[in-house]
Chains A and B, each alone.
Chain A
Amino acid sequence: MKYETNCERIAEVLIAYLDGRASKAEQRAVEAHASICAACKERIEEFRRLDLVLDELPAIEPSGAFDARVRQRIADEPRDGWFGWLIPAPRLAFSLAFLIALSVWTSRFTPAPVIETRAPTVAQTEQDFRMIKDLDVLENYDVVKNLDALSELPAANQSQTAPDQDQKKEQDGHI
């Protein structure tokens, strides 16, 4: 790939060129431009010298107490206990707590669940309605007391029960 450069575009590739990481095409372009541009040739040379100058930047060493302080801070960290595995990460624990709190909060605003009942049949409704209609009558003691229905019970049943009881009494007396 043919790559050409100029004084402005050299900025894109100069650092990679000086690091020895430019492509072959980029290298050739930089060198071709430097051969015709004295300013850029000088700049490239100064960048190389700058690298040597920057080697003189003073460095410092950590203080004598540095390691001890780091170890102390690490020792002060809570150790993984028996239940440490339950909360593997603070973010996860926070997310879970947030979700629980959110669900409790939102539940306050949701309407109470409607209990579904089976739709009453037409016959049942009519029966209920009739009962409500007759409620006054049923609650009236005099009416219930003198209810004809009791007297309309078959007489045979009454007579049949009475002799049975008489016979039983007689048997008990003999014994």
Chain B
Amino acid sequence: MLEAKAGNDASFEHLLQRYRTPLVNFLYRMVRDAATAEDLTQEVFLRVYRARHGYEASAKFTTWLFRIATNLALNRIRDTRHQQMEVSIDAPAEEETPVLELPARELRIDQYMIERDSAEMIRRAVEALPEKQRAAVLLHKYEDMDYCEIAKILQCSEAALKSLLFRAYETLRVQLAPLVRMAASPAPEAPATAGKGRLS
């Protein structure tokens, strides 16, 4: 990033190649729409480009990058929710609002058999988490960030983050109970030597 700041276009191209896929995935899982995720990712790179002269190496680049992405995602979710509320208020009274599809608190095994696609179940369970919990899980599990970085991105304390993560994983454990029960137990490992593995 420091080279990109100095006007090296090749360095900016390197940043684009390095971070485009993680950002698109993070934003896709946050906003639940691939096209919107791509638009927001472009916006992240544009903001990085515009702010390159003011970038200070004091903050880790990924923290800065994902903080921009998280803020954009949370703003988009809030705006979309606001628009949906306006639409529902303006909608004619006779039109029935479609029932919001929420996963059952604990899916039965027969439902799971109907669902068949475990990946879809997982996606829906993650997407059903509250935004901040979802962002915390995505950064912790899929971006492999440490607590300090995630806490900075979500602007909370590390203790609050751990509590947030616990609640999120607890919800997922309940939501994905059929899959969790069927999953093979990982080989027991001493926690102290588990390294950066997530929850294992």
Mask, A59-78, CB within 8 Å of B = 1, is: 11111001101100110010
Question: CB distance B38 to A63 under 8 Å?
Answer: yes
Out of A12, A47, A59, name the residue touching B199 (CB < 8 Å). Answer: A47
Question: CB distance B123 to A57 under 8 Å?
Answer: yes
Out of A18, A59, A74, name the residue touching B200 (CB < 8 Å). Answer: A18
Out of A22, A52, A63, name the residue touching B191 (CB < 8 Å). Answer: A22
Out of B49, B167, B176, B193, name the residue touching A53 (CB < 8 Å). Answer: B176
Mask, B9-43, CB within 8 Å of A = 1, is: 00010001000110011001100001001100110
Closest beta carbon of chain B to A75's beta carbon, Å = 10
User: Is residue A19 within 8 Å, beta carbon to beta carbon, of the partner chain?
Assistant: yes
Collect the chain B residues with CB atoms within 8 Å of residue A56's CB: 118-119, 122
> Which B residues form the contact surface with A (CB < 8 A)?
12, 16, 20-21, 24-25, 28-29, 34, 37-38, 41-42, 45-46, 49-50, 53-54, 118-119, 122-123, 126, 137, 141-142, 147, 159, 162-163, 165-167, 169-170, 172-173, 176-177, 179-181, 183-186, 191-200
Knowing that A12-B162, A50-B183, A66-B41 touch, tell me 11 more A-B residue pairs with CB under 8 angstroms: A16-B147, A20-B194, A20-B197, A48-B185, A49-B186, A50-B173, A51-B199, A53-B176, A62-B38, A70-B20, A74-B46
